């Protein structure tokens, strides 16, 4: 008889628990009047600024509309994209190599990687680009091959057509130092047990890095790499130090020197930079979402019905 009573009371408790979780929560939203007031004030400021800018003669919106799709601007935008893509290709490839060398058990590889990162992170990118621009006066011909007169080939960099690629190399090498640290942080985020398990299976160090460590590190590497791509897009405006005058910023500056009207040309350059940055941010979002699969953690918002049934 006692067992029956206990069973009935237990079932009643279980039902009451379930009914508790099934009942909708009557949440009362907190009111934040100062937050609403601040947001409204901010919106009013933005509207006032846009209204003033629309009627201000200094912006010269007619010139903006005339030159925003100018063939010279469009060509300069394409060249800026090429500078960004080629430089980041060098930076990512070399950055991965440098990061892996930093993790190498070989002390020579570690030292070479550390010195490279130290030099290129420790000096301003503009100074580096000026140096690369003067490279042809120091070394008119670059030789690649075995040292001390061994077999190899040489490249003449004294022509002005080489300036574009000199700028690409300068930007890429500078960015590689930062990419190396990003990749290294991603490699260190992978649990050490993964590498130990690979060693236990007899895998070599390079194979472990390629097939186990680097794929798992991509979840950490992708977000800052996307930020570096966006940063590189804007850093291309410094290639005038090489000097390369075909990028978006320099071309818009040259046109403003012809028209004696710099403000609309600066707005045009900013518009194109902002448009490209927006596209890159969207691409970065989907890349992050893809590589984050399987790692999403639910901190809040668990279904109370499941919790109630599990209890």
SS (H, E, C) 69-108: CCHHHHHHHHHHHHHHHHHHHHHHHHHHHHHHHHCCCCHH
Could you report the per-residue pLDDT of 204-238, keeping only the tens digit for each? 877 887 788 878 888 888 889 999 999 999 999 99
Whether 215 is covered by a domain: the verdict is yes
- Comparing C-alpha atoms, which of 167, 168, 175 is closest to residue 91? 175
Whether 39 is covered by a domain: the verdict is no
Question: Which pLDDT score, from 0 to 100, does residue 22 have?
Answer: 62
Whether 149 is covered by a domain: the verdict is yes
The overall longest dimension of the chain from CA atoms, in Å, is 103
Domain count, the chain: 1
Instruction: Count how many Cα atoms sit within 13 Å of the Cα of residue 250 in the half-sphere of its side chain.
Output: 17
Q: Which residue has the tokens 């590889």?
A: 109
Q: Which token pair is 215? A: 């794929």
3-state secondary structure 106-147: CHHHHHHHHHHHHHHHHCCHHHHHHHHHCHHHHCCEEEEECC
- Between 164 and 136, where is the model more confident? 164
Of 12-26, 55-69, 83-97, 221-235, least confident by mean pLDDT is 12-26
Could you report the per-residue pLDDT of 30-50, keeping only the tens digit for each? 777 888 889 999 999 999 999
Whether 176 is covered by a domain: the verdict is yes
Question: Which pLDDT score, from 0 to 100, does residue 289 have?
Answer: 82
Which range has highest mean pLDDT (115-119, 212-216, 295-299, 303-307)? 115-119
**Number of C-beta neighbours around residue 142 at 10 A:** 13
Could you report the per-residue pLDDT of 99-149, keeping only the tens digit for each? 989 888 889 999 999 999 999 999 999 999 999 988 888 887 877 766 666
Whether 56 is covered by a domain: the verdict is no
Whether 22 is covered by a domain: the verdict is no
Q: Which token pair is 171? A: 């930007």
- Between 91 and 187, where is the model more confident? 91
Query: Domain span at residue 220?
Result: 70-291
Residue 14 has pLDDT above 70, yes or no: no
Whether 309 is covered by a domain: the verdict is no
Whether 19 is covered by a domain: the verdict is no
CA separation, residue 249 to residues 26, 96, 119, 262, 266 (Å)? 56, 30, 28, 11, 8
- Between 183 and 194, where is the model more confident? 183
- Between 202 and 129, where is the model more confident? 129
In angstroms, the CA 68 to CA 157 distance is 34
Identify the CATH number of the domain in which residue 206 sits. Answer: 1.10.3720.10
């Amino acid at each position: 008889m006692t067992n029956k009573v206990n069973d009935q009371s237990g079932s009643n408790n279980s039902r009451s628990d379930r009914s508790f979780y099934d009942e909708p929560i009557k949440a009362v939203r907190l009111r934040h009047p100062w937050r609403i007031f601040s947001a409204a004030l901010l919106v009013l400021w933005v509207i006032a600024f846009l209204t003033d800018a629309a009627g201000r003669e200094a912006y010269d919106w007619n010139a903006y509309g005339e030159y925003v799709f100018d063939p010279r601007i469009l060509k300069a935008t394409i060249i800026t994209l090429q500078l960004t893509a080629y430089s980041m290709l060098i930076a990512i490839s070399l950055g991965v190599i440098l990061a892996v060398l930093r993790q190498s058990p070989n002390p020579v590889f570690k030292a070479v990687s550390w010195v490279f990162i130290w030099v290129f992170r420790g000096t301003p990118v503009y100074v580096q680009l000026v140096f690369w621009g003067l490279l042809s006066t120091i070394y008119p011909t670059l030789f690649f091959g075995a040292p001390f007169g061994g077999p190899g080939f040489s490249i003449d960099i004294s022509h002005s057509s080489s300036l574009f690629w000199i700028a690409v190399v300068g930007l890429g090498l500078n960015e590689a130092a930062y990419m190396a640290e990003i990749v290294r942080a991603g490699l260190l985020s992978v649990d050490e047990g993964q590498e130990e398990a690979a060693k236990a299976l007899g895998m070599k160090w390079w194979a472990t890095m390629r097939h186990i460590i680097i794929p798992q590190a991509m979840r950490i590497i992708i977000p800052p790499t996307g930020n570096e791509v966006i940063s590189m897009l804007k850093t291309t405006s410094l290639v005038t130090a090489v000097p390369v005058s075909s990028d978006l910023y320099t071309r818009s500056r040259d046109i403003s020197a012809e028209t004696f009207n710099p403000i609309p040309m600066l707005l045009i350059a900013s518009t194109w930079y902002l448009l490209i940055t927006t596209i890159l941010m969207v691409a970065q979002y989907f890349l992050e979402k893809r590589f984050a699969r399987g790692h999403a953690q639910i901190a809040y918002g668990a279904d109370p019905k499941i919790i109630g049934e599990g209890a």
